[in-house]
Structure 1
Amino acid sequence: MDVVALSRLQFALTAIFHMLWPVLTTGMAIYLVIVEGLWLKTKQPQYYHHARFWAKLYVLNFGIGVASGLPMEFQFGTNWAPLSEATGDFLGSILGFESAMAFMLEAGFLGIMLFGWKRVPPVMHYVATIMVAFGANLSTFWILTANSWMQTPAGGDFLANGKFIVRDYFEAIFNPFMVNSVAHMFMATLETSLFVIGGISAWYILNQRHPEFFGKSFKIVLALAIAVAPLQIYIGHLSGEQVYHQQPTKLAAMEAQWETLPAGEAADWSLLAWPNQQTETNTWELKIPKALSYILEVKPTLSAPVYGLKDFAPEDRPHQLGLIYYSFRTMVGIGFFLAGLMLITTLQWVRGKLSAETISQQRWLMRGWLLSAPLGYIAVESGWIVRCVGRQPWTVYGKIRTVDAASNLPAGDVLTSLTIFATIYTLLFISALYFGSRIIRHGPNLEMPVPSLEASGPEDGSTAQHQPNQRPVEAKQ
């Protein structure tokens, strides 16, 4: 048993499982800010009930995200101690910022958001909801900053002993990959959340349960998706261009490109292929002429070469080519599918087919949204596979090899912890499905009293409450 492979598999398991939960909380928190803001502005009770209903799914995801995220962080000290020792001056502080600055902000205001209804003024409650959303997305910023630095290290020097010394924190934080990576992940979490909320709303509409109520949530997410879905595709394109310039081996793996394409040549794009690492060729492939030139530079010929895998030594190439190649196409395909679904739905909206009276008749459209609910998760996980597996054999690209970053542990111990994690995470996943389905089956409580927007007092909404045995003060004069 290879201890490095086992440690990689364990981190992959914990990261893939953990990623399922903050993806929804970061995007859904923004949705909660929107519906609560609409309630404060319009005073319509339906928006208040939306905020209360979707917050239940939010807190379920938040709890499991916390439980699954802590073991992932501990692995930097157990399974990846040499990496932590070498890069701790930067990665340690960035991950510390994520915990102390972002997670604590989100967790601190979460109690007010969940239990502060009728206990704090409505505006204060709204501020708490905004802070929860800000904290959740600030966490995304710091995590993507750390990972982007591992993709394109900057802002310091690696000494002869392999330790990274920070010279300029801002340069390290704003490394070449950071801006597009943060924007791409922010849009991914928001788009995934929109289609999850839209898919759940479509399920209620298909089953004739509160169609008017969930018609509102459906239209809110559709209005946001009109901007988010195409913007996500554009930012993804910018990220692909960065890979082209910064990580030539990853691009070659993403495109199953074995031979170098020189500058000035029209490059074909491999739509589908089967990479064969033994023969260093593609067993079969379906190409679109000149398409890669337009994808990378939006022109018929390349201004710089596209390096093929054969230009790099076998030990310097990613080896799981099929996984990288098809994960990339899965992510891109889902992105275009969601954008297409958004476009079709928008056309139906313009035609007046999504009114409260007619939306239930759009059964095929609602089924499409129901099908789309898990697709965002698959796209996010596929994107992270491309990002991290495509970086191999480096943990810090071009600086620290994965084999040198792993702790020297007994393989049996890592296999044991891997088995324990797999078992616990399976139980957590089943529990999440059970409690999530219960929340959805029960549906919203539309009979819940709506607090007065003018109230600033305790539970009953009054502005004052006498304590037991308290006597009124008598006027003396």
Structure 2
Amino acid sequence: MLESFDPVLLARIQFAFTVSFHIIFPAFSIGLASYLAVVLSLHTITGREVFMDIFRYWVKIFAIAFGMGVVSGITMSYQFGTNWSVFSDKTGPILGPLMAYEVLSAFFLEAGFLGIMLFGRKKVGPTLHLIATWVVAIGTVGSAFWILSVNSWMHTPAGFEINDAGQFVATDWWAAVFNPSFPYRLVHMVLAAYLTTAFIVGGVGAFHLLRNRSNAGARMMFSMAMWMAAIVTPIQIMAGDLHGVNTLEHQPAKIAAMEGHFETNSDGAMPLYLFGIPDMEAGEMKYGVSIPYLGSIILDHSLDGEIQGLSEFPREDWPNVGIVFWSFRVMVGLGFAMLGIGLWALWARYRGTLYESTWLHRASVAMGPMGFVAVLAGWITTEVGRQPFTVYGLLRTSDSVSPVAVEAVGTSLVAFIVVYFILFGAGTFYIVRLMGKEPSPWDLDEPAHQPIRSAGVTPVQALEGQRGPDPAGTPAE
């Protein structure tokens, strides 16, 4: 049965499956590491224990997400040797050193200070613990820097020559690292990671506010997340616009696929298709719902900008238009939904109902995981839009695959699916269980390991996790 499948297609499906799992965890850990550094800094500056409560709540979740990201990354990179050995051989002189820089600089930084961040507060003191937390946060962004440099080079290769063996060899490392699309993609991805984390934090905070509006930790988490949504989402939309203009310059066929634009608009302004069914065989958009002029305004920033259609490119160089067209719309649609939540929260904050608005909290819970969906949709748009090349315009995907039997690829794909859903399903289930636990003050959560802040607490009460009566003689909240 497997003999009827294309080994290149199976290898692509396997890599897409593993990278889709992998991107979820780094996107979360990048944003969550920075969030933990911020709340720990606020605790140091203000002395407010609610920030320490939040830190302790999320640091456990961060540890699990970080671990699953490492494991999924190792599995993903393993495929370069099994399924994509030709690609590894041809691009190794450039991509190999860049990946090594990520390990030597960023990942070692994260791994070296992670233990202090998780377990070392009592041993090294608050100041060094705060420094270690910031180092981990910087390390996660550093990892994103190098990984996105690698991926961006595959989209907009620069600073290289091809030697007699057909390998890409660097002639200018600065040009290779800071290739034309890299700055735009780095900003876009890091902001996406921050927004993904913000909506997870906001969704968890909103979930607990629906249960208990007086919970201090939930209120603070929700407030901080909504500030992030209101401030960063417009910046992300502007960054996405700049990224799109850069893509139009260097990968015009991808933009044509994203817009479902088959013909060059040489006789007028380009419309923006909101919806439709791209028909690659007929080379047209069927049942399209469009807004006149808006395509030219967005892409060329003019009323009559001419944008190349897919008909300008050889048909064998077209990406899968249907996938790229719809994944792009999922990403953009969720981006504007995030903006709507941020603006709604600003209005509720202005009216003084941020913590009492039930429908805002319900909407925030529903939007909680949508950052992951938007990240996946964005990566699908980017990577499928690069096809049929692994190195855009220079190395075709069909020429990059290893000479492996279709049975081997099919068997490993099935094994990956089974193992991933068991292991990562269990890890995700545990993370969700931790999120379902209400944020609690630190002396209630770990009474045997922390000093007691509340007055009138006996040793027995401390061991039992009780605060005892407050100075006024009423039970503490």
TM, length-normalised to structure 2: 0.90
Tell which deviates more after alignment, 431-440 or 375-384. 431-440
String of CA shifts for 1:96-138, please: whole Å, max 9, x gaps: 1122221121111110001012111111000000011011111
C-alpha separation between the residues in 1 aligned to 2:227 and 2:284? 45
Deviation at 1:162, TM superposition (A): 2.2
Q: Please, which of 403, 407, 427 is the counterpart of residue 432 of structure 1?
A: 427
Residues in 2 aligned to 1:266 and 1:442: alpha-carbon distance in whole angstroms:
54
Tell me, in whole angstroms, the C-alpha distance in 2 between the residues paired with 1:242 and 1:442. 44
- Distance, in Å, in 2 between the alignment partners of 1:442 and 1:348 is 26
TM-score by length of 1: 0.90
What is the Cα deviation at residue 379 of structure 1?
A: 0.6
- Contact 1:27/1:189 (<8 A) preserved: yes
**Corresponding residue number in structure 2 for 1:417:** 412
| C-alpha distance in structure 2 between counterparts of 1:336 and 1:442, whole Å | 30
1:155 to 159, 183, 206: 159
**Which residue in 2 is equivalent to 1:234?**
238
Map 1:437-456 → 2, pairs under 5 A: 437-446=432-441, 447=444, 448=446
SS at structure 2 position matched to 1:443: coil
* 8 Å Cα contact 1:202/1:367 also seen in 2: yes
Amino acid at match of 1:317: W
Secondary structure at 1:261's aligned position in 2? coil
Question: Distance between the aligned counterparts of 1:213 and 1:61, measured in 2?
Answer: 21
Q: Aligned with 2:363: secondary structure?
A: helix
Q: How far apart, CA to CA, are the structure 1 residues paired with 2:243 and 2:205?
A: 32
The aligned counterpart of 1:345 is: 345
The 1-side partners of 2:395 and 2:302 are apart by 36
- Paired with 2:350 and 2:366, the residues of 1 have a C-alpha distance of 23
Q: Distance in 2 between matches of 1:295 and 1:419?
A: 42
Q: Secondary structure at the match of 1:25?
A: helix
1:391 aligns with 2:386: yes
- 1:291, 1:451 → 2: CA distance? 61
Counterpart position of 1:408:
403
Residues 389-421 of structure 1 deviation map (CA, whole Å, 9 limit, x = unaligned): 000011000110000111110010011111111
**Contact 1:53/1:443, CA 8 A, preserved across alignment:** no
Unaligned runs of 5+ residues in structure 2 are 453-477
Q: Is the 8 A contact 2:215 2:439 kept in 1?
A: no
Q: Is the 8 A contact 2:217 2:440 kept in 1?
A: no
Q: Which residue of 1 aligns with 2:276?
A: 273
Q: 2 CA distance for matches of 1:404 and 1:451?
A: 63
Which residue of structure 2 lines up, in the alignment, with residue 314 of structure 1?
Answer: 315
Q: Encode CA deviations 1:64-117: one digit per residue, 9 max, x unaligned.
A: 111111011111111111111111111001111122221121111110001012
Deviation at 1:294, TM superposition (A): 0.8
Contact 1:260 1:308 in 2 (8 A): yes
Compute the displacement of 1:174 (Å).
0.7
Aligned with 2:293 (options 287, 290, 295): 290
Deviation at 1:210, TM superposition (A): 5.4
How far residue 209 of structure 1 moved from its aligned partner, in angstroms, is: 6.8
Deviation, structure 1 residue 445: 4.0
Residue 179 of structure 2 corresponds to residue 178 of structure 1? no
Structure 1 residue 214 corresponds to structure 2 residue 209: no
Distance (whole Å) between structure 2 residues aligned to residue 113 and residue 28 of structure 1: 13
State how far apart, in whole Å, the 2-side matches of 1:213 and 1:147 are: 38
- 1:221 Cα deviation from its structure 2 partner: 1.8
Q: Tell me how far 1:268 sits from its aligned partner.
A: 1.1
Contact 1:33 1:126 in 2 (8 A): yes
Provide the rounded CA distance (Å) in 2 between the counterparts of 1:415 and 1:14.
14
Higher relative contact order (CA 8 A, sep 6+): 1
Please state how far the C-alpha of 1:58 moved relative to its aligned partner: 0.6
**What RMSD, in angstroms, separates the aligned Cα atoms of the two structures?**
1.6
Aligned equivalent of 2:112: 108
**Aligned equivalents of 2:151, 2:436: Cα separation in 1:** 38
Matching of residue 139 in structure 1 with residue 143 in structure 2: yes
Partner in structure 2 of residue 39 of structure 1: 43
Matched to 2:285, the amino acid is N
- Aligned-pair CA distance for 1:433: 2.9
Q: What's the counterpart of residue 467 of structure 1?
A: none
The residue type paired with residue 34 of structure 2 is I
1:161 Cα deviation from its structure 2 partner: 3.7
